[in-house]
């Protein structure tokens, strides 16, 4: 019995020496990455699209993600854009909430310094009643102006206005369907031209 325990002890110590050092791997936490497309579709490989957006309360983010999903690419929050080399994309799609008829400060700043890709497109969500569509148009015009003649499409839809409480539940499934149609139209236009 004593012999058996001594034998077990020797095996235990030997295993610890052999596997103990190499087996215990240091787990380095991965830095937080922006949401990535799960796999690259053949269309995404040819188009090389990317969606870049700002969003204060999640409406524009929702539409950005719908468009990105349709195109099989990443939807990147504006704060994370430095992690991407934008020179490697053929189609840049930029989204913003409308803030007093303009894109957000971050999107404005981004647009003032971005080197436009071969093709671009813009979209906004807006929530003001009455004059909302007009402010959305002004905002889209302003965004497109910064992209020169690279813009091949624009899209707008309602988004719940947290201050005015207008358009609750927007963007809804119909808005999402329209965003999908917008994305597939962009893909079609791009593929025809590339």
Q: Which positions lie near ligand FMN, rule CB under 6 A?
A: 55-61, 97-101, 125-128, 132, 135-136, 159-161, 163
| DSSP-based three-state secondary structure for 101 | coil
Closer residue to ligand FMN in complex, CB, 116/133:
133
Closer residue to ligand FMN in complex, CB, 65/74:
65
CB of 89 to ligand FMN, least distance (A): 22
CB of 121 to ligand FMN, least distance (A): 17
Closer residue to ligand FMN in complex, CB, 44/96:
96
Closer residue to ligand FMN in complex, CB, 75/187:
75
Closer residue to ligand FMN in complex, CB, 146/161:
161
Burial class (CB in 10 A: 0-12, 13-18, 19+), 108: middle
| DSSP-based three-state secondary structure for 118 | coil
Q: Closest-CB residue for ligand FMN?
A: 159
Spatial contact of 17 and 161, defined as CB atoms under 8 Å apart: no
CB of 45 to ligand FMN, least distance (A): 29
Q: β-pairing, 75-77 with 91-97?
A: unpaired
Q: Hey, which residues does 84 pair with through a beta bridge?
A: none
Nearest Cα residue to 60 out of 116, 117, 130, 140? 140
Could you tell me the two tokens for 110? Answer: 């981004």
CB of 87 to ligand FMN, least distance (A): 27
CB of 131 to ligand FMN, least distance (A): 7
Q: Which residues 6+ apart lie within 8 Å of 83 measured at CB?
A: 33, 34, 76
């Amino acid at each position: 019995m004593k012999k058996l325990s001594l034998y077990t002890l020797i095996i235990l110590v030997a295993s610890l020496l052999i596997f103990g050092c190499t087996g215990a791997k240091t787990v380095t936490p991965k830095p937080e990455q922006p949401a990535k497309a799960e796999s690259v579709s053949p269309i995404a490989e040819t188009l090389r699209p990317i969606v870049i957006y700002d969003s204060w309360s999640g409406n524009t983010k929702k539409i950005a993600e719908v468009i990105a999903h349709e195109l099989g690419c990443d939807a990147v929050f504006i704060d994370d854009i430095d992690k991407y080399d934008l020179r490697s994309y053929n189609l840049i799609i930029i989204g913003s909430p409308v803030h007093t008829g303009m894109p957000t400060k971050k999107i404005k700043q981004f647009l003032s310094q971005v080197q436009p890709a071969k093709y671009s497109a813009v979209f906004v969500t807006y929530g003001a009643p009455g004059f909302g569509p007009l402010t959305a148009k002004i905002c889209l015009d302003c965004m497109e102006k910064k992209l020169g003649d690279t813009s091949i499409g624009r899209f707008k839809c309602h988004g719940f206005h947290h201050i005015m409480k207008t358009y609750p539940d927007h963007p809804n499934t119909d808005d999402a369907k329209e965003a999908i149609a917008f994305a597939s139209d962009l893909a079609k236009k791009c593929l025809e031209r590339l």
